[in-house]
Amino acid sequence: MKKSQESIQSFGIIGLGRFGTALAISLAEAQKEVVVVDKDESRVKELRQYTEHAYVADDLNQETLEEIGIQNCDVVVVCIGEKIDTSILTTMHVVSLGVPKVIAKATSYDQGAVLKKIGAEVVYPERDMALRLAKRLVSASFLDFISLDNSVEIRQVMVSERLVGVSVEKLELRRKYGLNIIAVEHNSMTDIEIQPSYEFKSGDILVLIGKVDNINRFVDNM
């Protein structure tokens, strides 16, 4: 039986460049078990503040990966996009070890085509895409977090008990925080036509768009 997003608990990250590091940190901060592997000792050392399972490996052959225990992960992401031969071989080893879900970073569509044939899901990201992927892996909803640029986000925010019974009009999100409500989710239903008179209910999730600092300020004041 395929695991749901919520039941996935362990992730392997192979390659700690900008993408791999951002992804590993995001998953660790989401309270997931993360195994990280890289040949650069300084990069591995940096990640040890986020996970106990941080390993230096000069050779990413199948035997080494098995000794590390990468086969015990629910999901493994191979973040070695630039070195195409290493990326393909490492992905092949991870797939051969029977990991349920293997995701590989690619820097070209040709590389991605080969990785797909091996049996991996392919992404073509840089750092911001890494954050989006991390959120997608730990949330059933893709709209949990989307970075539009360095200062603007679409983010889901759970309504606090203090806001229950407060109307959209009374909250004055646009005037006070410069934020707009894209949608309100409640009991797996999404409403994109929000009336000013709508009063927030317990369990509501607001889908907001605005500057990161403004969203953070609103969340802090909820």
| DSSP string for residues in 157-213 | EEPPGGGTT-BHHHH-HHHHH--EEEEEEETTEEE----TTPBP-TT-EEEEEEEHH
Give the per-residue pLDDT at 68: 97
Name the token pair of 18. 């900008």
Q: Could you give the dihedral angle defined by the CA atoms of residues 150, 108, 10 and 27, in that order, rounded to the nearest 10 degrees?
A: -10
Give the per-residue pLDDT at 152: 78
Same domain, 103 and 182: no
Q: Which residues of the chain have pLDDT under 70?
A: 1-8, 125-150
Please indicate, yes or no, if residue 20 is contained in any of the structural domains: yes
Give the per-residue pLDDT at 193: 83
Give the per-residue pLDDT at 65: 97
Contact status, residue 76 vs residue 100, Cβ threshold 8 Å: no
Same domain, 54 and 90: yes
Please indicate, yes or no, if residue 1 is contained in any of the structural domains: no
Same domain, 150 and 205: yes
Domain count, the chain: 2
Please indicate, yes or no, if residue 154 is contained in any of the structural domains: yes
Give the per-residue pLDDT at 4: 45
Same domain, 24 and 109: yes
Residue 183: partners with Cβ closer than 8 Å, 6 or more residues away: 190, 191, 192, 194, 206, 207
Same domain, 112 and 135: yes
Please indicate, yes or no, if residue 114 is contained in any of the structural domains: yes
Same domain, 184 and 106: no
CA distance 20 to 37: 10
- For 209, the domain range is 143-221
Contact status, residue 155 vs residue 144, Cβ threshold 8 Å: yes
Same domain, 134 and 149: no
Same domain, 152 and 119: no
Please indicate, yes or no, if residue 21 is contained in any of the structural domains: yes
Same domain, 114 and 208: no
Contact status, residue 132 vs residue 147, Cβ threshold 8 Å: yes
Same domain, 71 and 54: yes
- 64-to-94, 132, 218 alpha-carbon distances in Å: 11, 30, 47
| DSSP string for residues in 35-99 | EEEES-HHHHHHHTTT-SEEEE-S---HHHHHHHTGGG-SEEEE---SSHHHHHHHHHHHHHTT-
Give the per-residue pLDDT at 186: 81
CA distance 21 to 34: 11
Cα 91 to its chain centre, rounded Å, is 20
**Which CATH number belongs to the domain containing residue 214 in this structure?**
3.30.70.1450
Give the per-residue pLDDT at 190: 81
Q: Model's pTM, two decimal places?
A: 0.58
Give the per-residue pLDDT at 136: 56
Look at residues 140, 166, 188 and tell me which one is the last residue of a structural domain: 140
Q: Which amino acid is at 184?
A: V
Same domain, 153 and 123: no
Give the per-residue pLDDT at 221: 82
